[in-house]
Structure 1
Amino acid sequence: MSTAENRRAQLGWAVYDWANSAFATTVVAGFFPIFFKTYWSAGNAHETSTLQLGVGSALASLVVLLLAPLLGAIGDRSRRKKLGLALSTGLSVLATAALFVVGEGMWLPALALFVLASIGFFLAMVFYDSLIVDVCGADEYDRVSALGYGLGYLGGGLLLALNVAMTLKPELFGLADRAAAVRWSFLSVAVWWALFSVPVFLFVDEGRTKDTPSAMDALRGGVAELRHTATRILGEREVWVFLLAYWLYIDGVHTIIRMAVDFGLNLGFGQTSLIGALLLVQFIGFPAAVGFGWLAQRWDTKKAIYLGLFVYACITAWGYFLVNVWQFYVMAAVIGLVQGGVQSLSRSYFARLIPDGKAGEYFGIYNMMGKFAAVIGPLLVGVTAAMTGSPRLSILSVLVLFVAGGWLLTRVDARKAAGSA
C-alpha cells in the first residue's frame, strides 16, 4: 500500500469515530437521559427514572458482553469485519431514527429502542477497533487511535451544538417546541451516522483473499476458536491482567459518561447548563485526545493512562461536593482533558499486547470486558441513588474503580506480551 493510500485508509478509519460519536454525545450522554426523565418517564420519581435508565444501559451491556467475543472471532475468521461493522451500524441507525416517533409517557418503547441502538453501537466498536491493525503498524497505533477519538469529539460536538441550537430556538428551525426539536435531533444523529460511515467502507482494506471462508465456515471456526480463547488468554499474563485493569477503570469512565447529566439533573441543575457542559467536554476533548496521542509517543503510553486515571479519581471526589453550576462546568472541562486520552490510549496499548491475526477476537474480549464493567457501573449508581436518595454518594462510589484499575495496570508490561515487537 502506498503512503497516500495508507493515509487515506487511516483517515477513513478515523472518520468513523466522527460518525458514531454523534450517538455517544447527543443520545447517550446528552438528550436521551434528559428527555427520558422529563418526557418519556415523566411523572416518575427521579430515583425511579435513574434506575430505569441504569437497568436499560446494563441490559445493553450484558448483550454485548455475550456477543462481542464470538462476533470478533467470526470477523477474524471470515475477514468480514467491515460487514459486521455495517450490520451493527445499520441496527443502531434504524433504532436511533425510530426514537423520533415515540410519544410522551412511552418510557418502555423508548428504553427498548435505546437498548437496541446501544447494542449496535457497542458491537460496531468491536469490528471498528479491530480494524486499526489493518490501517497502521504498531508504531502508529497511538497517533491513529488518538486521531479517531479526536475526530469523534469534534464531530460529535458539532452535531450536538446544532442540536442544542434546535432545542433553544426551535422556531428558527420551523419546529413547534423543544420536544419536537429533541425528536428531530435523534433523527439527525441517525442521518449523520449513516452518512459519515461511508469512508471506512470505501477506503479501509481488511485484506480479504480468494481463500476467504464462507460465513457458515467462519461461524463454526469462530465458535471453535472461542472455546480456546479463555485458556489462551489465561496463559498470556500481560493480556488478562490488562483486561482486568481495563474492566475496572473503563467502568468508571463509561459510568460518568452515561450518568453525568442524570447526576446534574438530580442536583437541580438546569437542562441548558448541563448540555452546555457536555458541549464543553466535546470541544476540549478534540485537541486533548490528539494531545494525549502526542504525549504517549514522546513520554510513555501507560504513564499517560495513569495521568488520566489520577485526574478521573480527583474528578469523582470533586463531584461529591458539587453545589453550583459553575463547579459542574469545571468538572466537565477537566473530564474533557482526559476522557479521550484514557480511551484512545487504552485501545492502542491493548493492540500492542495481542498476537498477530487475532485482532477481532481479542478486541471482542476487550469490548466484552468494557461492557461487562458497564453492567455494574450504571447499576451501582442507580441502586445507590435509590437506596440512599443521595446522588452524591452514588457518584462517589465510582472512585474505587479508578483506584483499583490503576493499581492493576502497574502489573502489566507490554514488552513481555505476545504481540510486542
Structure 2
Amino acid sequence: MADTLPAGRRSQWSWALYDWANSAFATTVMAGFFPVFFKSYWSADVSVTESTARLGTANAIASLLVMLLAPLLGVIADRSGRKKGLLLMLTTLGVLMSAGLFLVAEGYWLVAAGLYVFGVVGFAGANVTYDAMLLDVAAKDEVERVSALGYALGYLGGGLLFTVNVLMVLYPQSFGLADKAESVRLAFLMVAIWWAVFSLPVMLYVHEQGHATTRDGRGLRQAWAELVATWRLLRSLPMAFTFLLAYWCYIDGVDTIVRMAVDYGMSLGFAAEGLLTALLITQFVGFPAALVFGRIGDRIGAKHAIWLALVVYVIVVFWASQMRAEWEFYGLAVVIGLVQGGIQAMSRALYARLIPTEHAGRLFGLYNMMGKFAAVVGPLLVGWVAVLSDSARMGILSVLLLFVAGGWLLGRVDVRAGQRAAAEWEG
C-alpha cells in the first residue's frame, strides 16, 4: 500500500499505523490480561487485597514516571530534531518489556511488575513523540481527519489481536497450547511482535519537518531547564493553556471510565466473561466511530465535536449509576465505543491547531503529562467517594464533576484567537 499512495497520503497512513501497532499493548496487556494474570499467576500466593496493592503500586509508579518524563521527552524531541529516533528508542523499550513478560515464571510478581512499569513508560513515552509527529504529516486543516484515522486504526488493530488472544485463552487446546497460563504468556509475546512489525511504516515513510536547535550533549543537559520555558511558552498561548486545563478535566473522566469499568461491573455482580466481551465490543465499535468523528470534526469543528462527546459521556455516567441488568453493560459498551476514540482524536486535533508547529514536541509533552496525571486523580476520586458513601454507584456518579468542569473550561476556548496566536509564533 505504501508504494502506491502519494507521498502525503503514504506518510499519513504510515503515521496512523503506529496507533494500530501500539494499541495491542494498551488493549491486550494494560486493559486485558496483565491485571488478571498478575493476580492469578504472579501473585497467587498472597491475599486478594495484597495483590491489588502490588498492582496499584505498579500502576501508580508507571503513571508518575510518565508524568515526569513526558515534558522532558518533548523538549528533547524539539531540541534534537529527531522525534523519529526517540520514537524508535521508546518503542524498542516497550516491545522488549512486553516480550519479557513471556519469560516470567509463576510467582515472580516483582519481575513482572518491573517489566510492566517500564513497558508503560515505553508505550506512553513513545506517544509523546508520536502525537507531535501529527504536524509532520498533516496540515492544520487536515489534523481532525488524520488524528481520527490514527485512533480508528488503533481500535481496529488492538481489537483484532485482542480477539485472537481471548480465543487463545478460552480455547487453548485449539491453538496447540497446554493451558490458559501458556496462552496468556504467548499473548504478551505476540503483542511485542505485532508492535514491532507495524511500527516499521512510521520509521520508513514519515519524514520530520522540524529542525534541530542543537545536536550535541547540551540538548539533554539543558532539557530540564527548558521545561520552565515550555510552561512560559504555553502561558503565552492562552487558548492552548485553557484548552489543556479543560482536557485535563474531561480526559480524566474518560480514562477513569476505561480503567474502572470492569471493576464497577464486577462490583455489581456481573460475570467476568461478559465484561471481557463488552471490552471487545467497545474496541470494534470504536473503529468506525472514530472515523465518523473525524468527518464530524471537519464539519462542525473539533471543539463542537468534543462537546457532543461530553454530552454522551454525561448520559453514560447517569445510566451506569442506575444500571441493574448485565445487558445494560453491553449497551454502555456500544455507546462508549461511539465516542471514546472520537473525543481523544478531536482533542489531539484541536490542541494541534492551537500550538506552533516548531514547538510541537515540547507542547505535546505537556499534553501527555496532563493526560497521565489525570489517570491518577480520577480513579482516586471514584474510589474515595465509593468508600465514603459506601456505594459504588455514587463513586461512578462522581465522574460527572470531571465532565462538567471540562465542558465549562472548553467553552472558554476561542479557537480562532488560539490559531492566530499560534500563527504569530510561526510567523
Q: TM-score, normalised by structure 2?
A: 0.92
Q: Tell me how far 1:384 sits from its aligned partner.
A: 4.9
Asked if 1:33 corresponds to 2:38, the answer is no
- Which digits, 9 at most, give the CA deviation of each residue in 1:267-325, with x for residues without a partner? 33223212211110111000000000000101221111011112112212222233332
Paired residue for 2:231?
230
Alignment of 1:184-263 (within 5 A): 184-207=186-209, 213-263=214-264
Q: Tell me how far 1:28 sits from its aligned partner.
A: 1.5
Q: Tell me how far 1:122 sits from its aligned partner.
A: 0.8
- Which digits, 9 at most, give the CA deviation of each residue in 1:198-251, with x for residues without a partner? 100000001366x77324132245344323122232232111111111111111
- Partners of 2:44 and 2:235 lie apart in 1 by 47
**8 Å contact from structure 1 (residues 167, 182) kept in 2:** yes
- Partners of 1:3 and 1:419 lie apart in 2 by 31
**8 Å contact from structure 2 (residues 245, 409) kept in 1:** yes
- Partners of 1:197 and 1:321 lie apart in 2 by 42
Give the letter for the 2:360 counterpart: A
Q: 1:50/1:253 Cα in 2 relative to 1: closer, same or farther (>3 Å)?
A: farther
Asked if 1:84 corresponds to 2:86, the answer is yes
- Partners of 2:304 and 2:70 lie apart in 1 by 28
Q: 1:56/1:378 Cα in 2 relative to 1: closer, same or farther (>3 Å)?
A: farther
Alignment of 1:119-138 (within 5 A): 119-138=121-140
Asked if 1:275 corresponds to 2:287, the answer is no
Give the letter for the 1:363 counterpart: F
Greater CA deviation, 303-312 or 380-389? Answer: 380-389
For structure 2, which runs of at least 5 residues remain unmatched after alignment? Answer: none
**8 Å contact from structure 1 (residues 47, 386) kept in 2:** no
**8 Å contact from structure 2 (residues 210, 358) kept in 1:** no
Asked if 1:406 corresponds to 2:407, the answer is yes
**8 Å contact from structure 2 (residues 247, 406) kept in 1:** yes
Greater CA deviation, 254-263 or 333-342? Answer: 254-263
Q: Tell me how far 1:125 sits from its aligned partner.
A: 0.5
Paired residue for 2:422?
419
Paired residue for 2:96?
94
Q: 1:163/1:371 Cα in 2 relative to 1: closer, same or farther (>3 Å)?
A: same
User: How many residues are paired up?
Assistant: 419
SS at match of 1:138: coil
Paired residue for 1:293?
294
**8 Å contact from structure 1 (residues 69, 368) kept in 2:** yes
- Partners of 1:39 and 1:95 lie apart in 2 by 18
> Which of 56, 60, 63 does residue 62 from structure 2 map onto?
60
Paired residue for 1:355?
356
**8 Å contact from structure 1 (residues 34, 262) kept in 2:** no
- Partners of 1:410 and 1:146 lie apart in 2 by 22
Q: Tell me how far 1:175 sits from its aligned partner.
A: 1.1
Q: 1:3/1:36 Cα in 2 relative to 1: closer, same or farther (>3 Å)?
A: closer
Q: Tell me how far 1:51 sits from its aligned partner.
A: 4.8
SS at match of 2:142: helix
Paired residue for 1:154?
156
Give the letter for the 1:203 counterpart: Y
- State the percentage of identical aligned residues: 56
Give the letter for the 1:244 counterpart: L
- Partners of 2:317 and 2:60 lie apart in 1 by 21
For structure 1, which runs of at least 5 residues remain unmatched after alignment? Answer: none
SS at match of 1:101: coil
Greater relative contact order (Cα 8 A, min sep 6): structure 1 or 2?
1
Q: 1:176/1:3 Cα in 2 relative to 1: closer, same or farther (>3 Å)?
A: closer
